Every structure is written in structure tokens, then in C-alpha cells.
């Protein structure tokens, strides 16, 4: 029982990190109705900015406090992501208002390749480290109930708590603020939203800025765990099954989908892997997403599209 709980907790922690990356997809889709293939590049770009600023600031200012350097680096990286969002809206999205979804999709692909190249040009192509002070040592809990206790990674717990807090904040933003309601209106119909006075360009800047902050937090956490390298851009691929499962239009769906995927990967690898030679964790999420595409393509919490003729 103790080993099962340990595996379950590990899956929940991983699932929260998947949800954090998936949130970027959901945010952009809710505002523009297009799947943002640039989300992985945004995570990479934000992580590179955070890592390099944290390295440069002590040299520029003489700061000896790592906490202060990381805080300044986070603010500067956030400002960079705001500038990126403004440039994307000004140079790309503004000229694609009311265009077909396929056109916007191809635009995000172009943005992805551009951001990867720009990130390498500005920040370099080496492997960098983000050290935000999260503890690496494990914690043994419930040792009075289970022999040896349950192994819990403190870093995963803190990362999951940060992701959960961000998810709650975004949910409140979408449900309780006028800007959040405007974002949902823009997602439903660009032309109708413009006809009632919602400024589409400003809304797109806001949502890309929010998605940039989400990418920064995700990049900071994943960079702390894995190091900042260009393979970090592929972390978005791990979030694709999450948004398919939870629904492209649902913030709570991204959370539930991430938890299901995270737990499913861990449990299937531990309990089914020995019977099939292992490797289930690599493809389990995609197999589950395929099942949902066949039987419930809108996901668990997505809105079912009804075409009237």
C-alpha cells in the first residue's frame, strides 16, 4: 500500500507540471480559437531568459544574494515575455484578424521556429541551470503507518503547489473579471466581439502576456528539475494529451487532464510495464488521447461544437 501511495503521489506531482504547460495552450485557444504550437518555444525562451539573467545579474550589480538575483531575473524575464507578446500581436496577429483557423495555426508554427532561433542567438545554445532554491533532498512521510515511510520529493511538492496557485488565480481571472469574460467572448466569435466594442488587439496582447507568464513559471520549474536545454521545447508535446483529455477550452480541464495523465503514466509503468517490457510511460498519454479523440473529441470539459444548417 505504501508503494502504491508513493507512486500515486509521484503521478499527481508530475500531472500538476503537465497541467501548467497545458494552461498555455488553453489560454491562447480561449482567446483566439487556435491551437498554439509556439507554446513549447515560449517555455524554452522564458527559461533561457530566466537562467541567463540569473547568471548575469550578480556580475552586473555585484549582488551576492541568490534569492535577490533570482527575483530580479524573474521580473526581467517576465518583462521580456511581455515584450514578446506585444511584438507577436503587433507584427503577426494584428494582420490576421478574422482569418481562418488554419492560417493562425501556421502563424504559431512560424512563431515557434522564430523564438527558438532568437533564443539561441540572444542567450546561447548551451545547457544552463536554474537554481531557485527548491530543496532536492527527499522526504520520508507516514513512516508510522508504512514500513520505511513514503518517499516524497520536496521539489515536486513545491512545484505542484506553485502550479496549483497559478491555476486557481487564472480560473478566478477568467470567471470573475471583465477582461476574462471578454477573452471568452473573443474566443467564441471575433467579429461579434468587435461589434460590441471589445478591442480584439488589446485582448490578444493580454492573453499572450498571461500565457508568457505561465510559460515563464513552467520553464522555471522544469528548468530547475531538468536544466535549461533546447530539448525543453519538447515538453509541450507531453502536454498535448492533457489538453485533448481535458478540453481545449477548459482551465479546470487542463488540471484534471494533467492529473489523470500523470497518475496514469506512473501507475501503468509500475504495474503494467513488467508485463510488456516497460516503456508504457512514453506512449500511455498518447494512447489515452487517441481513445478520447475517437469517442469524445471535445474532451472531458470541452464545449461540444454543434453545427446548425
Average pLDDT, the chain: 80
pLDDT at 306: 54
Binned at pLDDT 50, 70 and 90, residue 190 comes out as low
- The pLDDT score that the predictor gives to residue 153 is 76
Instruction: Give pLDDT tens digits for 57-86.
Output: 888 888 777 888 888 989 999 999 889 888
Domains of the chain: 2-295 (1.10.3470)
Sign of CA dihedral 165, 168, 172, 173: positive
- The answer to whether the beta carbons of residues 10 and 270 sit under 8 Å apart is no
Q: How confident is the model over 264-275, as a mean pLDDT?
A: 81
Residue 192 has pLDDT above 80, yes or no: no
Residues 195-217: tens digit of each pLDDT: 777 777 777 788 888 888 888 88
Whether the CB-CB separation of 138 and 152 falls below 8 Å is answered with yes
Comparing 151 with 123, the larger pLDDT belongs to: 123
φ/ψ of residue 151, rounded to 5:
-80, 125
Model confidence over 18-60: pLDDT tens digits? 888 888 888 788 776 777 888 888 888 888 898 889 888 888 8
Predicted pLDDT of residue 76? 92
pTM for the full model?
Answer: 0.83
Exposure on the CB side of residue 157, measured as CA atoms within 13 A: 13
Amino acid at each position: 500500500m505504501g508503494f502504491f501511495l508513493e507512486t500515486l503521489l509521484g503521478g499527481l506531482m508530475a500531472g500538476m507540471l503537465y497541467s501548467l504547460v497545458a494552461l498555455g495552450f488553453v489560454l491562447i485557444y480561449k482567446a483566439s480559437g487556435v491551437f498554439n504550437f509556439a507554446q513549447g518555444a515560449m517555455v524554452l525562451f522564458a527559461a533561457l531568459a530566466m537562467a541567463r539573467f540569473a547568471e548575469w545579474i550578480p556580475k552586473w550589480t555585484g549582488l551576492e544574494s541568490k534569492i535577490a538575483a533570482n527575483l530580479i531575473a524573474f521580473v526581467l524575464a517576465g518583462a521580456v515575455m511581455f515584450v514578446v507578446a506585444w511584438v507577436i500581436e503587433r507584427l503577426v496577429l494584428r494582420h490576421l484578424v478574422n482569418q481562418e483557423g488554419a492560417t493562425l495555426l501556421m502563424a504559431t508554427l512560424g512563431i515557434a521556429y522564430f523564438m527558438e532561433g532568437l533564443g539561441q542567438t540572444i542567450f546561447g545554445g548551451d545547457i544552463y541551470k536554474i537554481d531557485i532554491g527548491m530543496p532536492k533532498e527527499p522526504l520520508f512521510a507516514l513512516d508510522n503507518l508504512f514500513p520505511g515511510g513514503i518517499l516524497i520529493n520536496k521539489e515536486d511538492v513545491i512545484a505542484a503547489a506553485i502550479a496549483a496557485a497559478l491555476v486557481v488565480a487564472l480560473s478566478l481571472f477568467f470567471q470573475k473579471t471583465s477582461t476574462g469574460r471578454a477573452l471568452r467572448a473573443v474566443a467564441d466569435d471575433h467579429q461579434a466581439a468587435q461589434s460590441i466594442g471589445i478591442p480584439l488587439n488589446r485582448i490578444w496582447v493580454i492573453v499572450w502576456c498571461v500565457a508568457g507568464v505561465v510559460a515563464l513559471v513552467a520553464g522555471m520549474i522544469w528548468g530547475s528539475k531538468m536544466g535549461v536545454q533546447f530539448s525543453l521545447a519538447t515538453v509541450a508535446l507531453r502536454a498535448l494529451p492533457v489538453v485533448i483529455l481535458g478540453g481545449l477550452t477548459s482551465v479546470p480541464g487542463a488540471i484534471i487532464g494533467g492529473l489523470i495523465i500523470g497518475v496514469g503514466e506512473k501507475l501503468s509503468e509500475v504495474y503494467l510495464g513488467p508485463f510488456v517490457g516497460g516503456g508504457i510511460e512514453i506512449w500511455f498519454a498518447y494512447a489515452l488521447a487517441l481513445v478520447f479523440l475517437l469517442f469524445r473529441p471535445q474532451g472531458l470539459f470541452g464545449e461540444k461544437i454543434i453545427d446548425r444548417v
